[in-house]
């Protein structure tokens, strides 16, 4: 069931690009700039190829990593517009089906992404159990020695290709690029379940397939012939020198994908890829995003890119023994299918092991990042360290004629209790919400993800102005 909401900015910091966005009484996002787009990307349409500076695009592309959310935020004189992915299971976008709220906020709809089944969590509960705060991407150089251990944080560069059926939903280049960025932010959230190394993806190119270039995509009835298309995509990537521009390449299709012409009537695929193709000529994969525009392609993209990184489908075989094996890597260069029936949203322990082995085997020439990102930095403040509970409550109830005060009893529980004083007509009432990340709690700790914890290394401890009011 769709949920009608009226998003409202509680706090914004122009110097850091951070925002606190209230969606409902129980859903609040702590947003910061995303770094999924490189400073400059290649944008291509058939024979037209140009370099695009993404600075203006990245200004509105924001993420809340702890709640697995990624949105485009536009705050203009015409009102606040929010579009993107919430908790990796829902999407939000403006709607004209409802009027503005009494205080002038635009109506938006929150809808479930087709094919997902998770529930909409309370504030902060979207954090995986083994989640660790992932630092911003640091530039890596090629000055390394083969055989050394991979760094703790690795960023692989990806080139994204959109076929004719997929791009129909995105007539403007900006729409296609930003949708792709939102989708890959969600893929990165799935990848964060693995550590040592922590792997993230950065987009270095986006290409529309139009006109004659579409000829290398073979169709079977209304579906894409996955096997033929994957191999022709590999050859096309050589012609375009995509291997010099990225470590991975992904074709997003708006069609269903059939394994091949002989099996066109079998169940369609999430996608397919070459096993262990990272940083080789077999670095290509194909995945479905059907219907386009609803972020359904997140899980398929994660799975096939995982195959390129070294993961395998469930029930893999040991090529040496020819039988089921507890945890053996799929033979390199073999095509792996991602079936709909085996959908997964995180690596198994076995696949984590295989991905680590593949990354180490590829060596530091594969780890080096050729693009540079200036937006990445270490954040020393969290939004709640600048937004006191008192200020939060005053802004939330700015339209009320009654006095607002904060009940300090809930501070150590990482809650904010905003209370309205009793009047001759109405009795006292309190609104309780999760604390914004960075608000203080007991023993000079801070609230992160709804829990009272020690401040992360490198962040400022709560000051006197951030103590419970």
Please, which pLDDT band fits residue 383 given cuts at 50, 70 and 90?
low
- Does a structural domain hold residue 198? yes
Q: Measuring CA to CA, which residue among 295, 276, 290, 345 is closest to residue 165?
A: 290
Quote the CA–CA distance of 239 and 176 in Å, as a whole number: 24
Residue with tokens 């517009």: 81
Same domain assignment for residues 174 and 76? no
Q: Could you tell me if 307 and 416 lie in one domain? A: no
In order, the DSSP letters of 133-180 are PPPPPPP--S---TTPPPPSEEEEEEEEEE-HHHHTT--SHHHHHHHH
Number of domains making up the chain: 3
Paired sense of beta strands 223-225 and 257-258, if any: parallel
Q: Are residues 19 and 113 in the same domain?
A: yes
Residues 349 and 260 in one domain: yes
Q: Take residue 426 and report the two structure tokens written for it.
A: 């109405």
For residues 330 and 309, the answer to whether their CB atoms sit within 8 Å is: no
Tell me, yes or no, whether 321 and 226 share the same domain: yes
Question: Mean pLDDT for the chain?
Answer: 81
CB atoms closer than 10 angstroms to residue 442: 11
Half-sphere exposure of 303 (CA within 13 A, CB side): 26
The answer to whether residue 263 sits within a structural domain is yes
- Pick 416 or 343 by higher pLDDT: 416
Are 313 and 170 in the same domain? Answer: yes
**Whose structure tokens read 């993107």?**
84
Residue 428 has pLDDT above 80, yes or no: no
Residue 296 within a domain: yes
Q: Are 313 and 360 found together in one domain? A: yes
Q: What is the pLDDT of residue 77?
A: 78
**Torsion, Cα of 461, 466, 467, 469 (10° steps):** -170
Q: Does residue 210 sit within a domain? A: yes
| Of the listed ranges 30-39, 152-161, 237-246, 391-400, the one predicted with least confidence | 391-400
Within a domain: residue 138?
A: no
Q: What is the separation of C-alpha 169 from the centre of its chain, rounded to a whole number of angstroms?
A: 20
pLDDT for position 100: 87
CA-based nearest residue to 332, from 282, 263, 260: 282
| Cα-based distances in Å from 19 to 69, 197, 389 | 13, 29, 16
Rounded CA separation 341/343 (Å): 6
Domain termination site, one of 339, 367, 395: 367
Mean pLDDT for 436-454 is 83
Domain boundary among 82, 111, 126: 126
CB 175 within 8 A of CB 84: no
Contact 42, 241 (CB under 8 A): no
Residue 349, Cβ neighbours under 10 Å: how many?
9
Looking at the structure, do residues 320 and 433 belong to the same domain, yes or no? Answer: no
Q: Is the pLDDT of residue 250 over 50?
A: yes
- Whether 185 and 223 map to the same domain: the answer is yes
Q: What is the pLDDT of residue 61?
A: 96
Task: Decide if 216 contacts 224 (C-beta within 8 A).
Answer: no
Task: Based on the fold, state whether residues 252 and 118 are members of the same structural domain.
Answer: no
Q: How high is the pLDDT of residue 198?
A: 92
Clarify whether residues 197 and 243 are in a common domain.
Answer: yes
Specify if 413 maps to a domain: yes
Least trusted range by pLDDT, from 136-140, 289-293, 456-460? 136-140
Q: Is residue 133 part of a domain?
A: no
CATH number, domain containing residue 309: 3.40.390.10
| Per-residue model confidence (pLDDT) at position 325 | 56
Rounded distance between C-alpha atoms, residue 385 and residue 464, angstroms? 10
Q: Does 280 score more than 70 pLDDT?
A: yes
Percent of the chain's residues with pLDDT above 90: 39
At a CB cut-off of 8 Å and minimum separation 6, what does 390 contact? Answer: 406, 469
Residue at which a domain ends, from 126, 142, 163: 126
pLDDT tens figures, 13-24 = 777 788 999 998
Of 291 and 459, more confident: 291
State the Cα–Cα distance between residues 226 and 259, nearest whole angstrom. 5
Question: In the predicted model, is pLDDT for residue 175 greater than 90?
Answer: yes
* Cα 196 to Cα 185: distance, rounded to the nearest angstrom: 20
- Its domain, for residue 21, covers 1-32+69-126
Cα separation, 287 vs 289, whole angstroms: 7
Q: What angle do CA 228, 231, 237 make, to 5 degrees?
A: 135
In a domain, 13, yes or no: yes
Indicate if 197 and 234 belong to the same structural domain. yes
pLDDT, tens only, 75-85: 887 789 999 99
What's the confidence (pLDDT) of residue 468?
Answer: 35
Q: Label residue 322 left, alpha or beta by phi (over 0 means left) and psi (-120 to 50 means alpha).
A: left
Determine the pLDDT at residue 132: 34
CATH of residue 416's domain is 3.40.1620
CA atoms within 13 A on the CB side of 271: 30
| Confidence check: pLDDT of 464 > 90 | no
211: left (phi over 0), alpha (psi -120 to 50) or beta: left
What is the pLDDT at residue 1?
A: 74
pLDDT greater at residue 373 or residue 428: 428
Which carries the bigger pLDDT value, residue 105 or residue 333?
105
């Amino acid at each position: 069931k769709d949920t009608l909401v009226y998003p409202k900015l509680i706090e914004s910091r122009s110097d850091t690009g951070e925002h606190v966005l209230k969606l409902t009484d129980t859903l609040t996002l702590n947003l910061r700039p995303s770094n999924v787009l490189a400073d400059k990307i290649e944008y291509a349409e058939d024979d037209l190829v140009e370099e695009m500076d993404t600075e203006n695009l990245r200004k509105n592309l924001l993420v809340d990593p702890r709640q697995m959310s990624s949105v485009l935020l536009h705050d203009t004189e015409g009102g606040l517009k929010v579009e993107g992915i919430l908790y990796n299971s829902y999407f939000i976008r403006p709607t004209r089906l409802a009027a503005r709220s009494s205080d002038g906020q635009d109506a938006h709809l929150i809808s479930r992404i087709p094919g997902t089944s998770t529930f909409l969590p309370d504030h902060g509960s979207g954090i995986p159990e083994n989640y660790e705060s992932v630092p911003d991407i640091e530039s890596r150089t090629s000055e390394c020695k083969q055989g050394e251990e991979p760094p703790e944080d690795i960023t692989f560069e990806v080139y994204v290709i959109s076929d004719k059926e997929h791009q129909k939903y995105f007539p403007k280049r900006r729409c296609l690029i930003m949708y792709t960025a939102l989708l890959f932010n969600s893929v990165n959230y799935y990848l964060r379940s693995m550590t040592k190394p922590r792997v993230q993806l950065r987009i270095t190119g986006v290409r529309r397939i139009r006109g004659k270039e579409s000829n290398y995509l073979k169709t079977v009835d209304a579906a894409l012939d996955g096997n033929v298309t994957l191999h022709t995509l590999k050859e096309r990537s050589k012609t375009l020198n995509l291997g010099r521009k990225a470590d991975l390449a992904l074709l997003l299709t708006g069609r269903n994908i059939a394994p091949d012409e002989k099996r066109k009537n079998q169940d369609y695929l999430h996608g397919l890829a070459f096993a262990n193709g990272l940083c080789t000529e077999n670095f290509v994969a194909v995945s479905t995003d059907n219907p386009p525009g609803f972020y359904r392609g997140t899980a398929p993209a994660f799975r096939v890119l995982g195959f390129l990184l070294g993961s395998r489908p469930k029930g893999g075989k040991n090529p040496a023994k020819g039988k089921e094996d507890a945890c053996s890597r799929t033979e390199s260069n073999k095509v792996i299918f991602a079936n709909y029936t085996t959908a997964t949203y995180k690596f198994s322990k076995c696949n984590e092991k295989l991905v680590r082995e593949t990354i180490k085997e590829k060596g530091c020439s594969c780890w080096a990042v050729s693009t540079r990102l200036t937006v990445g930095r270490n954040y020393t403040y969290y939004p709640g360290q600048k937004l006191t509970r008192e200020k939060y409550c005053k802004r939330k109830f700015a339209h009320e004629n009654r006095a607002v005060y904060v009940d300090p009893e809930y501070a150590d529980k990482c809650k904010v209790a905003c209370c309205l004083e009793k009047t001759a007509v109405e009795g006292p009432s309190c609104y309780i919400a999760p604390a914004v990340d960075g608000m203080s709690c007991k023993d000079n700790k801070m609230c992160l993800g709804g829990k009272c914890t020690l401040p992360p290394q490198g962040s400022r401890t709560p000051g006197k102005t951030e103590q419970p009011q």
